[in-house]
Structures are given as structure tokens and as C-alpha cells.
Amino acid sequence: MDMKFKGTKPSRRSFLTGALAAGGAVASASVAQGQATPDPLITEKQPWRQFLGAGVDEAPYGMPSEHEAHVIRRTVPWLTADPISSINFTPLHELDGIITPNGLCFERHHGGVAEIAPEDHRLMINGLVDKPLVFTMEDLKRYPRENHVYFLECAANSGMEWAGAQLNGCQFTHGMIHNVMYTGVPLRLLLEEAGVKTNGKWIMVEGADAAGMNRSIPMEKALDDCLVAFKMNGEALRPEQGYPLRLVVPGWEGNMWVKWIRRIEVGDEPWHAREETSKYTDLLANGVARRFTWEMDAKSVITNPSPQAPITHGKGWTVITGVAWSGRGTIPRVDVTIDGGKNWHQARMSGPSLNKSMHRFYYEFEWDGKPLLLQSRAHDNTGYVQPTKNELRAIRGENSIYHNNSIQTWYVNENGEAENVEIS
Amino acid sequence: MLKFLKIFLPAGAGAASMLSLAYIAADQFVVDIPAPIREAIELNAAQAQEAKEAKAAAAAELAARNEELAVAGLAPSVAGGYGLGRDAMVEEIAAWDDDVRPDGQGLPEGSGDVWTGEEVFVEKCSMCHGDFGEAVGRWPVLAGGFGTLTRKDPVKTIGSYWPYLSTVFDYVNRAMPFGEANSLTPDEVYSITAYLLYVNDLADDDFTLSNENFTEVRLPNEANFKDDDRMDVEFPQFVRPDICMENCKETVEITMHASVLDVTPEETAARKAAEEAEAAAESAPEAAVESADAGIDPALVAEGENLFKKCRSCHQIGEGAVDRTGPHLNGVVGRTIGSNDGFNYSGTLADAGAAGGIWDAETLGAFLANPKSAMPGTKMSFAGFKSDEDIAAMIAYLQSAGGQ
């Protein structure tokens, strides 16, 4: 029975048949208390105990167990006009710790995945510099490197939820995020190499893909903590993450982290490119649009239980876990409620607390089998506390698409099944 | 941070100090120097001293900065850079530096009028954006939407929302047409931009846009963009050290359920399809592959696959292919023309199919060589393959990837 729940989400249909499933879940829980007949998995000899398994080199590049085949990125087809300029989502409900495995990092492309051999890649710096320069990948790897763990969140993460609860699963509501360790060269060193002229206040970064993705970034940020990265989690960037070279813009919206970066132009003004005017601007209720909303506000979500990961063990000890992050720094504290915000409990933070990285939290409790209304709220190191959806709507209306960092609510019914809801 | 950069700038001061040093050296041997010259030399000496001090200060600043960086575990700077990379050539910069800003920086010489723009737009853009920018399917709407920004479902178009015309030029030039980016001439981009002004009622039909008059055009919504004010408007409200932890509200009601909308993609359905495909692949392995590939040159297929990148923005082929902007191409070789159920073909293709036309090497070859002349009125915007080899490769690929 337990296995059946795995990787499925309770749609309205399965919700209706949920009662049936509950019987099984409860039964298995009671069985765990006192075993009636011996477990054949223990009493009978299993083939894996007897016969040899695969040798080394069976898979020169290792892959996850076949039992994890459901742990994949998923897309929401109706979101975009076509599958090339589109998006898929990280399966947050299947992950733990703070690092996202490379193959599960969500993808967002505007012109598909550019296929570039590293020896064919060039990075140019031009504009208001003393020396316009061209770098090869080999050149870049001769600069001092830095390693940093940063989250990358798409500004449109949770964007479908402004007008109301829409998607059943934290993969879909919050999965436009990943958190990996980057290895790369500080952008500062490359700009110093070219010599920025005194009136160079902005840079424009441009990708080598079929979208020619371009964004403006203020010089102060460019010189502060941006990286030109070629590795993620120790290995080369995945093609869909910008192989062989991408920009890393810590704490700022994902669209600025230009993949396949090929050019940096220094200028005295911003460019107002399409992705910072028509898109990635936040339209408020009064018709005014905020632009250059780069920083990602503090945010958190409970990943388990959640609609794709219901409670399958019945009453008793239950682990609530989730992730939190802030574009302004670290997350010293996350509060969790199981009664829809009447009472809050400080969650247990576990794992490294790194600047502009994802953080992991846990809250363990004894479930009494009654329905739950689960929420988490992040506090970042500036004292900012993640707001409710209604608090954000009061300021921004429902049309701003981007930067929805509000508190997420999951309703968990008696069967342990979870649903995306909004509450008073 | 900007200050930090400036420490690399006083290089010019070095030359001045050299000159002053020469004067000072000369001073040792010349006894009788007229007063004005002597004063000038003294001034130069003072300047040299200043430059020297500035240089020392810069070096000290760099050293201090590097110490800070080292403590933070960050990479050190080197005065004047690491000496890596090479000078970019003028031709190289010209080849890549084609971005355009609101102040007109980057605009190429050229011009285009509304009527030419309409022709180009209908040929190259309308299959996604509609003839008048009204859009097909979920592709972006480019025209109209005035007065909708404060409504529930705002229509954000070039006319109703975009702040700058330069963005239209820059984006069309760098990213359009979708699937064949960077293929338009400057005149074509000017004409498309002029046409987009026209369909937004922002230009008359006799309007010509050029690098000369470009910056005179202002879009109506420019003033409604404001820089991010979250730090002033939101941040203070959400810094809440004493946030409630106990008995924070009396009652809680569910006000909205996602399951009412039920728009979540069905994982089980997707998984079932994948399992079925896997089972099919296992049960009928080589036979199917052989029959499809019999006699097809794999090199030609690979070449065709590469060429298919030009088609991918509109057409799908292979497992799970469905109709998009263009029909799916599974089994297209040997299929009746215009025969995908549910796809809205142009009249010409539908008629050709009704008359019994089949996509074979001959009809497909002619269509791929010049779609508009082989099937006048087709909505397919592709201009056609230039070489017979490309056409053969494409047909080989369609046959191989889509089956027969």
C-alpha cells in the first residue's frame, strides 16, 4: 500500500477514493506495532544476498537506483506556448539536505539548450573598458577560483499561485529553484583585467544561445560577488545549466544568471532588455510596474508532507521537513504551524547555514491522525519574516507574476493526503 | 567597490612623474635657472611626489583589500590584472556587439516602413503572433491591451506595457524569428518594428522608422515603470522580531482548494505513457528500427537531424510528438498531405490532401525547397532549403525519426 502512494499526487479523483487507501495505511501502521506472521523478506533467502551483483564499470557514469525512477523534473505543459522556451521543476519533495543533484536542477530556457564545445566557447568583454578582451575557457581556468553554494530561484517561482491555490505539489508551486556548489572565477577579476572606465556603471551580460539572453546588472553587484562558473557540485555544468560557462548572481533572480555567457558589455546606463521590461517586471494593482526587482525575498516551503508526498504511515511520529532561503543572507530561524497559524513552533535547522544558500529545517511531532493545516515561515538574518499571501496581495495585487515569496499552506486530511489550499 | 577599481587608473600619472624626475635631475647640473622655470620645476616635483604617494596609497589599498579578501576566503586582485585573455579585435566586437539601448546606442544604419514590415511580419512572425500581433495559442500578444493593466487579466503588449521601443528592436534582432534567431537584416528589423507600432496605433501606415528618427518615438507606458521600492515599502513592515507564536488566531477556515481547479499535470498518466513506450520498445526492438531505417544513410539522417533544429520551434517528431504551431511529423513521409486530425491546415494543404496528394520524395522535396511556391498560401514561414543535399538529408531524417 505504501508503495502505491509514492510519486503519485492526490488529484480530485484520487481524493475521492482516498478513504480506501486510508484503510491500508492505517492497517500497515498497526502491523508495524506487532507482527502476526514472520516477514518473508527476513525469513526467506533473497537473491541479492545469494548471487553476485553488477561489477565495477557497469555504469561508468553512475545513475540513481531504478527504484528512484519517479524522482524527475516535471513540466506543466499549459504554462508555456511550446516545450522549448519553457520550464520544468525540481522535485523538492523527493530531496533532503540542501544540495540539489545536478540532474534534478530545474530548467528554464528561452531558446533551447545551446550545444557548445568548450574549445569553441569565447567570452568577450567590451564597452567602457580600457582593454576589450576575449577569453577562452582555458584562459578562465588560469584565474584564481572560488567555491560557493548558492540557491538559484526563478523570479516566477510560485507565480501561478497569486490569484489562488492552483497546483498540487511543491514541485510545481516551488520547484523553480535549485541549490548547488559553484566553482568559478570572480567576475571582479575579469572586469579588473579589462579595466572599467570611471563612467562604467552597468554591465550587460549576454548568452550564446538562440535567445541571446541579455540582462543589465549594476556594476556594484558585478564587482561584489558574481562568478563566472564552469562547475556545479564539482563536475562540469550540465548543458541545460549553461555548459560550458554561466554567470552566477548570488541572491538575485535566476533570469540574470545568464547561461552560455559569451559577452559582457560595460556601459553607463542599463539596457532595458526585453527580460527586464516586458518580462521580469512586477505589475502592481494600480498599473505601475516595478522594475529591477533583482533580490529574492526570504521564503520557505514544507516539502514533506505535501501533495506529492502524503503521510503514509498513519498516526504517530511524523517528520515535517522543508527548505528556506533568502537573497539577503542566511536563515537563522523557521517557524512551523500544524494548525493553520494558531500556534507556531520553532523548527530545527540542520546542515550548513551558508550565505544565500538553501537551508534545511525539520519539525518532528506525534500526529494524532486529525487533519492538519501546515505552514512554514522563514526569518532571515536581516530580521525579515516571510509574509502571508494576503499581506503581499494587499501591497502588490494579483497581477505581478514574479517574486511571490508568501507562506504556503498544505491541508493534510485524516488519510495523510495533502492538498494545496489557502486559509483565512 | 567602485573606489576599489579606481586604484588601477593612476597609470597616466606615472608619465608625469617621469617628466618631473628628468627636470629634477637636470636641476643638479644647471645653476642659473630663470624663476618661472624654477617654479615650474618645483611644481612638477610636487606633482611627482603626489603621484608617488597616490601610487603607494593605491598599492596599500590593494594590499589591505587583498587581506580582507583572504580572510573571507576570496580570490585576490592583482594590480593591472593577471595578464590573461587577449585583446578583442575591432571586427570581433563588431560581430557581437549589436545590442540597442533606449538612448539609441547600438542602432545600425537603416530604415523600414510599415508596409514592408507587414510583409515581413506576415511571412516570418504571424504563424505565432498572428497577422496583427493578436497571437496564436499561448504565444505572446504584441498589440492592443490598452487600458487593461489595472484589470484582473492585464494584456501586456508592446503598446500597452513595454516602456521603450529600443527593446523591440533589440529583442527582434537578437532572438527572433523564434527558431531562426539573428537572421534578419537591419532594414527588416526596422520595418517589423514600424509595423508593430502601426498595429498598436502608435504610427500611421505611411510611417518609416530609421536610425535617424528612432529615439523620437516614445511608448505610452514609459512613465509607469518605477525602480524596485520593496526595501522602503515592504521591508519595514515585514521585519517582525516579536511575531506571534501562541494563540495567534481564534479560527481558521480554508478559503480555496487547488483541487477545485485541478490543473496539476497528471503524473500517473505521464508515467503510464512512459511505461507503455518502454514496454513497446522492449517488445518490438530491432524489427521496427530496421524497417524504418532500411536503406537510409545514417550520415544523411544525422545531417537531417541537425537541420531539423530550424524546424523545432514549430514541429515535433518522434515519441510523444504532438501538433504545435505546425503539425507533428510522425509518419509524414508517405502520409496524405494535410491529414493530421485536428490540425488547422491552410487551404492549400487541405485541398492538396483532399485531391489525394501524398507527401513523397517529389512533393516533399518541392515543398522543402520553396514552401511558398510549392504550396501557395501555406502558413509555414520557413523560406526553404537551398541545397538538394539538405533536402535529401531532411527527408531521410523525417523518414528515420518519424517512421513511414
Q: Average pLDDT for residues A198-207, to the nearest whole number?
A: 98
DSSP-derived pairing of the beta strands A261-267 and A214-218? unpaired
Using CA atoms, how far apart are residues A373 and A420, in angstroms rounded to an integer?
10
Could you give phi then psi for residue B269, rounded to 5 degrees?
-65, -45
Quote the Cα angle for A291-A292-A295, to 5°.
125
Check whether B12 has a pLDDT greater than 50: no
Assign B401 a pLDDT band (cuts: 50, 70, 90).
Answer: confident
Q: Average pLDDT for residues A401-416, to the nearest whole number?
A: 98
Residue matched to cell numbers 523525417 = B398
Count CA atoms closer than 13 A to B201's CA, side-chain side.
5
- Cβ-defined contact of B239 to A419 (cutoff 8 Å): no
Q: Which residues contact A76 (CB under 8 A, 6 or more apart)?
A: A87, A89, A160, A167, A172, B263, B264, B265
Cα dihedral sign, B226-B231-B236-B241? positive
Residue B279 pLDDT: 58
What residue of A is the nearest CA neighbor of B99? A271
Length of chain A: 424
How close is the nearest chain A Cα to the Cα of B362, in Å? 31
Q: Which residue has the higher pLDDT, A300 or A83?
A: A300
Chain A, 237 to 256: residues with Cβ < 8 Å from chain B are: none
What residue of A is the nearest CA neighbor of B94? A126
How close is the nearest chain B Cα to the Cα of A348, in Å? 15
Q: How many CB atoms lie within 10 A of CB B154?
A: 19
Nearest to A423 among B140, B255, B266 (CB): B255
Check whether A109 has a pLDDT greater than 90: yes
How close is the nearest chain B Cα to the Cα of A188, in Å? 8
Nearest to A11 among B97, B164, B259 (CB): B259
Residue A160 pLDDT: 93
How close is the nearest chain A Cα to the Cα of B26, in Å? 34
Check whether A130 has a pLDDT greater than 70: yes
Contact status of B57 with chain A (Cβ, < 8 Å)? no
Q: Average pLDDT for residues A33-60, to the nearest whole number?
A: 92
Distances, alpha carbon A21 to alpha carbons A48, A311, A320, A327, B183, in Å = 31, 11, 21, 41, 57
Q: Which residues of A touch B237 (CB under 8 A)?
A: 387, 391
Residues of chain B with pLDDT > 70, as a percent, come to: 84
Q: Edge to edge, what strands does the sheet with A202-207 contain?
A: A214-218, A202-207, A261-267, A122-127, A133-136, B86-87
Residue A11 pLDDT: 47
Average of per-residue pLDDT values in chain A = 93
Question: Could you please report the per-residue DSSP string of A254-270?
Answer: GGGS-BTEEEEEEESS-
Q: Average pLDDT for residues A219-223, to the nearest whole number?
A: 98
Q: Which residues of A touch B270 (CB under 8 A)?
A: 74
Check whether A21 has a pLDDT greater than 70: no
How close is the nearest chain B Cα to the Cα of A44, in Å? 30
Quote the Cα angle for A306-A170-A379, to 5°.
95
Chain A, 288 to 307: residues with Cβ < 8 Å from chain B are: 288-295, 297, 307
Distances, alpha carbon B235 to alpha carbons A395, B229, B238, in Å = 12, 9, 5
- The answer to whether residues A405 and A398 touch, using CB atoms and an 8 Å cutoff, is no
Contact status of B104 with chain A (Cβ, < 8 Å)? no
Contact status of A388 with chain B (Cβ, < 8 Å)? no
What residue of B is the nearest CA neighbor of A276? B167
Check whether B340 has a pLDDT greater than 80: yes
Check whether B17 has a pLDDT greater than 60: no
Check whether A210 has a pLDDT greater than 70: yes
Q: Which of B68, B256, B324 to mutate to test the interface with A (most CBs of A within 10 A)?
A: B256
- Cβ-defined contact of B230 to A290 (cutoff 8 Å): yes
- Cβ-defined contact of A373 to B254 (cutoff 8 Å): yes
Check whether A120 has a pLDDT greater than 50: yes
Contact status of B387 with chain A (Cβ, < 8 Å)? no
- Cβ-defined contact of A204 to B150 (cutoff 8 Å): no
How close is the nearest chain A Cα to the Cα of B164, in Å? 8
> What are the cell numbers at A298?
526570504
Buried b (16+ CB within 10 A) or exposed e, A222-255: bbebbbbbbbbbeeebbebbbbbbbbbbbbbbbb
- Cβ-defined contact of B101 to A267 (cutoff 8 Å): yes
- Cβ-defined contact of B271 to A193 (cutoff 8 Å): no
Three-state DSSP state, B208:
strand
Contact status of A137 with chain B (Cβ, < 8 Å)? no
> What are the cell numbers at B375?
504550396
What residue of B is the nearest CA neighbor of A386? B238
Q: Which residues of B touch A382 (CB under 8 A)?
A: 235, 239
Span A331-389, pLDDT tens digits: 999 999 999 999 999 999 999 999 999 999 999 999 999 999 999 999 999 999 999 99
How close is the nearest chain A Cα to the Cα of B279, in Å? 15
- The answer to whether residues A181 and B146 touch, using CB atoms and an 8 Å cutoff, is no
| Extended beta strands in B50-181, E state | 86-87, 111-113
Residues of chain B with pLDDT > 90, as a percent, come to: 50
Q: Which residues contact A172 (CB under 8 A, 6 or more apart)?
A: A74, A76, A89, A160, B264, B265
Closest to A174 measured CA to CA, from A76, A89, A72: A89
Using CA atoms, how far apart are residues A278 and B178, in angstroms rounded to an integer?
17
Check whether A10 has a pLDDT greater than 70: no
Using CA atoms, how far apart are residues B39 and B45, in angstroms rounded to an integer?
10
Chain A, 187 to 216: residues with Cβ < 8 Å from chain B are: 188-196, 198, 204, 206, 210-212, 214
Using CA atoms, how far apart are residues A223 and B288, in angstroms rounded to an integer?
57
Check whether B120 has a pLDDT greater than 70: yes
Helix axes B286-293, B388-402, angle to 10 degrees: 160
CA dihedral angle for residue A10, residue A16, residue A17, residue A19, rounded to 10 degrees = 100
Contact status of B12 with chain A (Cβ, < 8 Å)? no
Distances, alpha carbon A265 to alpha carbons A206, B23, B105, in Å = 8, 42, 12
Residue matched to cell numbers 504551524 = A337
- Cβ-defined contact of B243 to A341 (cutoff 8 Å): no
Residue A4 pLDDT: 38
Closest to A347 measured CA to CA, from A309, A396, A387, A301: A301
Residue B274 pLDDT: 55
Contact status of B175 with chain A (Cβ, < 8 Å)? yes
How close is the nearest chain B Cα to the Cα of A43, in Å? 32
| Extended beta strands in B206-339, E state | 208-210, 225-227, 254-257
Using CA atoms, how far apart are residues B78 and B16, in angstroms rounded to an integer?
23
Contact status of B236 with chain A (Cβ, < 8 Å)? no
Contact status of B3 with chain A (Cβ, < 8 Å)? no
What residue of B is the nearest CA neighbor of A226? B74
Check whether A405 has a pLDDT greater than 80: yes
Length of chain B: 404
Quote the Cα angle for A360-A411-B241, to 5°.
50
Residue B310 pLDDT: 77
Check whether B63 has a pLDDT greater than 50: yes
Contact status of B282 with chain A (Cβ, < 8 Å)? no
Span B266-299, pLDDT tens digits: 764 555 555 555 555 555 444 444 444 457 788 8
| Extended beta strands in B130-269, E state | 208-210, 225-227, 254-257
- The answer to whether residues B321 and B328 touch, using CB atoms and an 8 Å cutoff, is yes
Residue B272 pLDDT: 53
Contact status of B265 with chain A (Cβ, < 8 Å)? yes
Q: Which residues of A touch B246 (CB under 8 A)?
A: 343-344
Residue B20 pLDDT: 46
Lowest average pLDDT, out of A118-127, A249-258, B255-264, goes to B255-264
Output the pTM of the full model: 0.83
Residue matched to cell numbers 567602457 = A128
Q: Average pLDDT for residues B77-99, to the nearest whole number?
A: 97
- Residue A185 forms beta bridges with which residues? A228
Residues of chain A with pLDDT > 70, as a percent, come to: 92
Q: Which residues of A touch B101 (CB under 8 A)?
A: 267, 269, 271-272
- Cβ-defined contact of A111 to B103 (cutoff 8 Å): no
Residue A33 pLDDT: 65
Residue B24 pLDDT: 47
Residue A99 pLDDT: 98
How close is the nearest chain B Cα to the Cα of A311, in Å? 18
Q: Which residues of B touch A401 (CB under 8 A)?
A: none
Assign B263 a pLDDT band (cuts: 50, 70, 90).
Answer: confident
How close is the nearest chain A Cα to the Cα of B184, in Å? 14
Using CA atoms, how far apart are residues B400 and B304, in angstroms rounded to an integer?
10
Closest to A237 measured CA to CA, from A335, A325, A136, A114: A114
Chain B, 151 to 170: residues with Cβ < 8 Å from chain A are: 152, 154, 156, 158, 161-164, 166-167, 170
A112 Cα distance to chain centroid: 20
What residue of A is the nearest CA neighbor of B239? A384
What residue of A is the nearest CA neighbor of B180? A210
- Cβ-defined contact of B99 to A281 (cutoff 8 Å): no
Amino acid (1-letter code) at residue B40: A
Three-state DSSP state, B249:
coil
Residue B300 pLDDT: 87
Three-state DSSP state, A49:
helix
Chain A, 259 to 278: residues with Cβ < 8 Å from chain B are: 262-263, 265, 267, 269, 271-274, 277-278
